Structures are given as structure tokens and as C-alpha cells.
Amino acid sequence: MSSAAVVVHSPEYFCDIGPHVFPVEKFAMVRAHLVNRREIAAGDILAPAPAPRADLLTAHTPEYLDDLDAMRWTHRTRMSELPLTAEIVRAYKLAAGGTTLAARGALERGGGINLGGGFHHASADRAEGFCYLNDLAVAVRVLQREVRIRRAAVVDLDVHQGNGTALIFHGDDSVFTLSIHQEMNYPTPKADGTLDVGLDDRTGDDEYLRRLDAALEAVWNFRPEIVLYQAGADPYVEDQLGGLALTLDGLEARDRRVLEGCARRGIPAVVTLGGGYARRLEDTVAIHATTCRVALAAAAAGARDRSGPPETPAASPAPPGRPA
């Protein structure tokens, strides 16, 4: 199966975090959901390598990375709400490598999907929440370092503000950070991103999509060369850690606004999963899978637009990475 989007996953995104509200088993479940429904072929899924230290240093400080490698509880790591083990640190390095690999693929093919990542609370020198390494920031900075892109946008639609991403890119006018989130929720205080939209408790589909449309206009006007989409499933009405009231249809409409909007404008888009703590784990998995399905369709439509008549071959080489 040839696709206009690269799909990335590692079985080692799963790591033992003990009894926890964060369902780390969801990564493999989303993968299985997509493969079982033939949305993607297992043989097409790329497995990332852990992000090398040089890549992590584009977004994080050496002191903080040293703490992670030594599994040390310090003022830099103690805001984490996860244990700190070698397996967990490796999972976060893999997620950063995965989002970077998906972003490289998106530049070549039009779309990239990391079936993980979106760890937007991690800042340059600090863990926070369920986030040790900010895969979104690492991917943007690595592509900028290689001069593959200059301008990037992070569209963060998790129910929680993307404070780590905002802090990392604060004062950097080459990166537009949009966060649309529930105002009265974690984190407190919020960080200043390029555009922050704090929504009232119980905001539903119509109001959400109206605010999203307005915010996306600002993103398109910025003319990013790539969009990294943090597609958190936690604005869902049944989420345990969220207080917005989006339905499954509303979340799919949200995904279409972002991903079809990118495809229409020829902007490569990269999906990361972000949060998701629905009372029923199947709902979280279904929301993420829908995002991926929308991303695959949008990237395919974008590729057709670029290649002209349908009989024109649009094949492009796969990016580096070994099959999963």
C-alpha cells in the first residue's frame, strides 16, 4: 500500500508506569485499530530510533538531559507525574525520534503520523505532567537546524494548554504556537504562546469549531512550511481529566479543519496523539484512530492535487527508518 503519509510507531512507546490514569497501552491499540481496519499496512509502519542527544539538545538543556539519563530526581525532573526509569526515558526518546521521523516523512510525502508523542508540557529544562521530552519542539528544531524548513506552526488542540511548547518557542518568531484549551484546567499558570484560546468549561462542538476556525486563520496567515498537530483526545465530553464537551463528531470535524486545511494549502502536516483519558479506553483509541484516518485521507487528497491528473504517478521515496 502506497500512502501520501508516513506512519511511525514503536512497540516500546509502551512503558511500565504502574497504575496510572495515562493509558500507555493506547499506542499499540491505535496501531492495531488502524491495521485491523486496513487503514494502514503493518509493513508500511516505520519504527523510530531514539532521538540522539544532539537532536534533544535543540530543545532541551544538557543539565536536564543528564538528569534523565541518570534517572535523578532534581528540581528539573520532580514536576513529572510519572516514575523515572530507564525504560520510561527510552520511551520518551523514541517518541521524540518518532515525531522527527514523521516530520521528515511529511516534508517528502505531505503527511506524517506518529502513533505517539505530543508531549507538550515538557519545557527546555523541566519535566511536567506526563511529559519528559517535548517531541514537537525537537522535531521543529531539528528540521530548522537542517534548513529543511524555516517557519513552523504547532497546532495544539489538547484540552490542556501546551505550556512547555510555548515556553520553548517563546520569543522565536519562526514558530507559531497555537493552543486551544480549557482555561480552568491544568496547567496553572498558563505560558504565553503565539495564540492562546482559553475556553469555558463545558464548551461544546459549535463554539469550539467557531473558535478553531478563527484561530486557524491566524495560523494560515503565518504561512508555516510545516504544521505539527497535537491532536489530544481529551476535549472529549467523556474525558476524566478534561472539562470540555466535544462529541466524537465534533472531534472529527476539528481534525478535518486542521488536516484538510493544511492539505488544501499544500502544508505538510504531522499528527501526534497527545492526551486522552476517556472513561472508556476504546473511546480514546477511536478518537485517535479517526484523527489518523482523516490525516491519511487529507494527505492523499493533497498529493492528488499536487500531481495533477490521477493517472500521473505520485510515488516518492520512503524516508529513512526501518520497518516496524
- Per CB under 5 A, the segment of 135-143, 147-155, 228-236, 260-268 that binds Zn ion is 228-236
Nearer to Zn ion, 176 or 236 (CB): 236
Which positions ≥6 away from 62 have C-beta within 8 Å?
none
Give the separation between CA 192 and CA 219, rounded to whole angstroms: 16
Q: C-alpha grid cell for residue 286?
A: 477511536
Q: Does 135 bind Zn ion (CB under 5 A)?
A: no
Q: Are strands 111-114 and 269-272 parallel, antiparallel or unpaired?
A: parallel
- Per CB under 5 A, the segment of 84-92, 104-112, 152-160, 174-182 that binds Zn ion is 152-160
List 9, 26, 104, 160, residue binding Zn ion (CB under 5 A): 160
Q: Does 275 bind Zn ion (CB under 5 A)?
A: yes
Nearer to Zn ion, 116 or 232 (CB): 232
Is 182 within 8 Å of 199 (Cβ atoms)? yes
Is 55 within 8 Å of 100 (Cβ atoms)? yes
Is 294 within 8 Å of 231 (Cβ atoms)? no
Is 80 within 8 Å of 129 (Cβ atoms)? yes
Give the separation between CA 251 and CA 208, rounded to whole angstroms: 10
Nearer to Zn ion, 122 or 142 (CB): 122
List 67, 135, 156, 234, residue binding Zn ion (CB under 5 A): 234
- Per CB under 5 A, the segment of 38-46, 88-96, 273-281, 288-296 that binds Zn ion is 273-281
Q: Is 121 assigned a catalytic role?
A: yes
Q: Does 158 bind Zn ion (CB under 5 A)?
A: yes
Query: 33, 121, 181, 288: which one is catalytic?
Result: 121
Q: Does 156 bind Zn ion (CB under 5 A)?
A: no
Burial label, 208 (beta-carbon count in 10 A; 0-12, 13-18, 19+): buried
Is 323 within 8 Å of 46 (Cβ atoms)? yes
Q: Which residue is nearest to Zn ion (CB)?
A: 275
Site map 290..319 versus Zn ion, x via CB under 5 A = ------------------------------
Give the separation between CA 315 and CA 119, rounded to whole angstroms: 32
- Per CB under 5 A, the segment of 71-79, 92-100, 155-163, 214-222 that binds Zn ion is 155-163
- The H-or-E segment that residue 272 falls in is strand 269-272
Binding site for Zn ion (CB under 5 A): 158, 160, 232, 234, 275
Catalytic site positions: 121
